[in-house]
Amino acid sequence: MSPPRITVTTAIRHPRLRYVLRVVGDDLGYDFRFHNDRSVFGTPAPRFGITYGGDGPNTLPHHELLSGRAFAPASARPLSYRGVPAFCSTPQGPDLLACIFFALSRYEEYQSFTPDAHGRFPGAGSHAARYGYLHRPIVREWTALIGQQLREWFPDLPPPRRRSLTLQPTYDIDLLWAYRYRGWRGLARGAKDLLTGQARRALHRLAATDRNDPFHTMDRLEHFHREAGLRATYFWLLSDGSHRFDPNPYPLPAAQQEVMRTLEATAEQGIHPSYRSTDEPKLIGRERERMEHVLGRPVTRSRQHFLRLTLPQTYRQLLAHGITDDHSMGYADRVGWRAGTNLPFAWYDLERERETELTIHPFAAMDVTLKNYLGLTGGAAGATLLELRSALEPFGGPFPLLWHNSSFAADYGWAGWWEMYSDL
């Protein structure tokens, strides 16, 4: 059954408007089409016809952002509209379509900002964090309000699409083993353990095998996923090991390659482009080739190591190296929805003013954010995740989390986190 068609009459034909109408239509389950104002007489009036901009009945407000004009997000203080924070104000009220475009395009990240120590756009400085709505799937809320308005205008319009809420586990594998296959770095870590009074960890290091290593949690995770009916996605750090923030062994141990091949039957996999890849994009291609050599198939999924993401350069680099799906859309220093949504969406290249073939997969929270940046215990972290889940529940769709295979090791400060995670 084809989706209901909403015909839009407007003088605005900018690519931004076309893009955001498609996103809203995909969420609601409606098909937005532009009405040809120059059509011949006799064309039947659309069953569900609205106007964007101008005056008259069934009209959505128009903000200049969707005409391609500049916008100053720093001065866009949200007001309450039907209980939801909204900005992009017009005399007729907020333009929710423009608000959605602002969030999805990451418009504010193209403005000047003070980066953090790793060159990242900080969540703390985002519009959503400063005005207190980062924890809300605000794009889904704005979309729902548009759907509500359409149903008020057209009571016979079918209700919007409903989605079930589904946990979506994803993992970054920086190190498959804490103690094994570490080379000179392992020796240095062992010496540091002894010098800093970590004798218990030093003994565990000596007794470690491939299977009892505290970071090697893959069998446990995959058993958990089977029990819960989940399919996980793993992102592998495959650098040449030349940077201090890239701790993976290189060349890849045969045992690691075997784990990667085994996971092909039960999980999705992608690359975790190394720390330097943001500045040296040729590394993306090299690391992708390493993974394709192991798996014997094309690799099209990716998530940036350290979430180092610079717009538009990083996404253009990924596209140039054959990546079609990126999972980096979240913050290191804050939990919540960086782009305001949990649904995958096409990346819009704001400088080139066009929708691209790169699909962005947001995530809600990262384990390191909860523990190291926010200083939460396992129990408090679980409560935070349940709050995010509660805000998302009316809208459904994926509830994606970013975890590490190493974030369950009691010897490294993660006691109790497996219990919290599996209970979630």
Domain ranges of the chain: 5-153, 167-178+214-423
How long is the chain? Answer: 424
What is the C-alpha to C-alpha distance for residues 310 and 331, in angstroms, rounded to an integer? 12
Q: What is the pLDDT of residue 320?
A: 98
Contact yes or no for 30/4 (Cβ under 8 A) = yes
User: Phi and psi dihedrals of 405, rounded to 5?
Assistant: -60, -25
CATH architecture of residue range(s) 167-178+214-423: Alpha-Beta Barrel (3.20)
- pTM here is 0.93
Q: What is the pLDDT of residue 189?
A: 55
Contact yes or no for 379/360 (Cβ under 8 A) = no
What is the CB neighbour count within 10 angstroms for residue 219? 11
Q: What is the pLDDT of residue 45?
A: 73
What is the CB neighbour count within 10 angstroms for residue 244? 8
Q: What is the pLDDT of residue 291?
A: 98
Residue among 325, 327, 378, 399 nearest 356 (CA): 325
What is the C-alpha to C-alpha distance for residues 177 and 175, in angstroms, rounded to an integer? 5
What is the C-alpha to C-alpha distance for residues 178 and 175, in angstroms, rounded to an integer? 7
250 CB-near residues (< 8 Å, 6+ apart): 238, 239, 240, 241
Q: What is the pLDDT of residue 42?
A: 46
Q: What is the pLDDT of residue 194?
A: 45
pLDDT string in tens for the chain (424-residue length): 799 999 999 999 999 999 999 999 999 999 999 987 454 444 567 899 999 998 889 999 999 999 999 998 877 899 999 999 999 999 999 999 999 999 999 999 999 999 999 999 999 999 999 999 999 999 999 999 999 999 999 999 999 999 999 999 999 999 999 988 865 454 445 445 545 656 555 455 555 556 679 999 999 999 999 999 999 999 999 999 999 999 999 999 999 999 999 999 999 999 999 999 999 999 999 999 999 999 999 999 999 999 999 999 999 999 999 999 999 999 999 999 999 999 999 999 999 999 999 999 999 999 999 999 999 999 999 999 999 999 999 999 999 999 999 999 998 999 999 999 999 8
Contact yes or no for 365/334 (Cβ under 8 A) = no
Residue among 380, 328, 414, 401 nearest 169 (CA): 401
